[in-house]
Amino acid sequence: MKKHDMLKLKHAFADEETTAYSLLLGELIELRDNLIRTEKEFTNILQLVNAQHQTGATNLIHYLGLRRLDIRPLQEKLAAVGLSSLGRAESHVLPNLQAIITLLQHAIKMQSDSNSARVKWPASGFSLLQNNAKNLLGKLPAERQARIMVTLPADAADDYMLIKDMLIAGMDCARINCAHDDQEVWLRIIEKLRHARRETGRHCRILMDLGGPKLRTGNIALGAAVLKWRPLRNIHGQIVTPARIWLHHEKNHRSCPASADACLPIKGDWLALAKKGDLIKFIDSRGAERKLQLTEKVNKGFWAECNHTAYLSSGTRLHLSKPKSKIARKLGNNQTHDVGRVGTLPQSPALIRLYRGDNLVLTSKPIPGSPAQYDENGHLLRSASISCSMPEVFTMVKPGERILFDDGRIGGVIRSADTDELLIEITQARDSGEKLLSDKGINLPDSELDLHGLTDLDIYNLEFVVHHADMVGLSFSHSASDIELLQRHLKNLNADQLGVVLKVETRAAFEHLPELLLSLLRSPNVGVMVARGDLAVECGYERLAELQEEIMWLAEAAHLPLIWATQVLEGLAKNGKPSRAEISDAAMGARAECVMLNKGPHILEAIQMLDDILKRMQAHQSKKSAKLRRLHW
């Protein structure tokens, strides 16, 4: 090819490249100007935002304007020419967009347009987010970029060493759930936490979650007083561990150890006749012959073992059988002593078991629930029933809408509704049925609920919270008015500076999240919790992965710290062994500013493992950005 032809071809390619850049630049300028116009539409709302959140609120509006559009074709064009594709622009939307525009203007030697000068480069969005996280959650631990929050159990009120060990293991924030226990218990927990902080020198903020307008099942009528135990068997039915029973005088109720499989109260002083090695024989409630081997005496009580499942009721006759001496065996002497009796057993709630196709009556009346009743021929006499903690919702639901119980374990459809009761057909349950218990959550994902964000109990507890906690959690909010109601109460209590955590756990909260965030930003010290339990129930488990990502993006756009919560390392905390999926989930949580663990008997191991996972992941991930450290093969 001749030199002249080569130059001509080169100019043709340059002209084509310039034309492509010009078209791309036009799209970007139009997008930027659209975002600036969107910001002007929110002028009145921005004026209400707290001064320190003005940048975050403005950036959130820009991000919302960006995400109203499907910009995937534009992203592909940007990536094709080696420019930022806006995929990590959450914390600095307009400056990122303007930077690309400026590069293209220089590339085609075009002067800056009038709006270019209007885009100011604020402080780094990442820095603003980190500062807001520090204000709310406290400073970062020395070697970790995400904090660990732990829900404290009621047992912590009387277990100082548990709290101290949690701090040493890596707890940075402590959560108290005000839906459970009372102010006396919370105060004992807080006093022990403060003592542990002084002793260990570790920092630990306190979050107190208000109960909120949570729908729950009511009490269930008491059934028969029956005590049951069973040994642990392997897959072949062989005994691995006998049932371990604690025997005590019936008046000594506090003596029951937590490690016992069952605690058996004994009438009178009959137990004083017993010694280690004796047998206690009895006929259980089903007519089966059973025996207990006394293995150890502790003070006035005994440990015993049993190799069979047994059911006992109050007054069951007990026969103490002592080992016979050699002489006694030759003479055939009877070594069975006087008969003892089982003391008064506490009544437990009756069992409500539901199967697919069953009917359940949810009643507005505060009466104890009861299982279904049948005649001697198995014909249904009365459907199972249970009460609801907030009967005002009965006027807000319609036939055909879904209703879910106990984190979605039991699902049904409302067939009829009035102010007194809802008739529900059970559509979701295991083949073996599901047990419905008292104080379990109720979700109405299809219903439009008009509930106040704070209950009377929440308002009563709020005064305690502002005196003892660093943050208050707003639970089950549905609209911006819920946040504004909390802000008014905090102002009346002279507690405007108290940290506020918006828990996103309802379908309505997710659908109105931008509006909720802009109201939240009126307070100086705020953050967001993605409460994935109820959120998954209300929106569908199949959508959870998508929803939690969107919540995380919006929080980052507003420069707000995010708490990654619900069932993190749940298997480890409760059973001592995590699943592989839990490990991956905990690793994903490293993108948040705080990861929350729930209580469990193995909580210390869970804190230690989460601490290790977060330290490892921070070398690979920062929010959505991959960090490319050198790989070790």
Q: The CATH number of the domain where 476 resides is what?
A: 3.20.20.60
pLDDT for 121 equals 62
> Is the Cβ–Cβ distance between 246 and 303 less than 8 Å?
yes
Number of domains observed in the structure of the chain? 4
Which residues are within 8 A (CB) of 500 and not within 5 positions of it... i.e. 6 or more apart?
471, 472, 474, 483, 486, 487, 490, 520, 523, 525, 526, 527
Residues 291 and 198 in one domain: no
Which residues are within 8 A (CB) of 69 and not within 5 positions of it... i.e. 6 or more apart?
31
CATH of the domain at 403: 2.40.33.10
The model's pTM is: 0.81
- Cα distance between residue 550 and residue 514, in whole Å: 11
Task: Tell whether 220 is covered by a domain.
Answer: no
- 3-state SS class at 289: strand
H or E element: which one contains 107? helix 93-107
Residues 107 and 146 in one domain: no
> Is the Cβ–Cβ distance between 209 and 179 less than 8 Å?
yes
H or E element: which one contains 482? helix 480-492
> Is the Cβ–Cβ distance between 451 and 390 less than 8 Å?
yes
Residues 434 and 521 in one domain: no
Residues 460 and 582 in one domain: yes
Residues of the chain with pLDDT under 70: 1-17, 114-123, 253-255, 324-337
Angle between helices 456-468 and 183-200 (to 10 degrees): 20
pLDDT for 116 equals 67
Residues 459 and 545 in one domain: yes
pLDDT for 334 equals 46
- 3-state SS class at 503: strand
Distance, CA of 237 to chain centre: 36
Residues 101 and 134 in one domain: no
Domain endpoint, select from 65, 93, 122: 122
> Is the Cβ–Cβ distance between 32 and 97 less than 8 Å?
yes
Give the tens place of pLDDT for each residue, 538-566: 888 899 999 999 999 999 999 999 999 99
Residues 374 and 264 in one domain: no
Task: Tell whether 6 is covered by a domain.
Answer: no
- Residues written for the chain: 633
pLDDT for 2 equals 52
Domain endpoint, select from 406, 423, 443: 443
Residue-range definition of the domain harbouring residue 385:
352-443
Task: Tell whether 219 is covered by a domain.
Answer: no
Tokens of 430: 């295991």
CATH of the domain at 288: 2.40.33
Task: Tell whether 3 is covered by a domain.
Answer: no
Tokens of 47: 């004026």
Task: Tell whether 347 is covered by a domain.
Answer: no
Q: Where are the beta strands (DSSP E) in 63-222?
A: 147-151, 173-177, 205-209
Whole-number Cα distances in Å, 183 to 180, 212, 371, 492, 554: 10, 16, 34, 21, 35
Domain endpoint, select from 64, 88, 122: 122
Residues 286 and 422 in one domain: no
> Is the Cβ–Cβ distance between 108 and 22 less than 8 Å?
yes
Q: Where are the beta strands (DSSP E) in 152-234?
A: 173-177, 205-209, 226-229, 232-233
> Is the Cβ–Cβ distance between 244 and 261 less than 8 Å?
yes
pLDDT for 13 equals 44
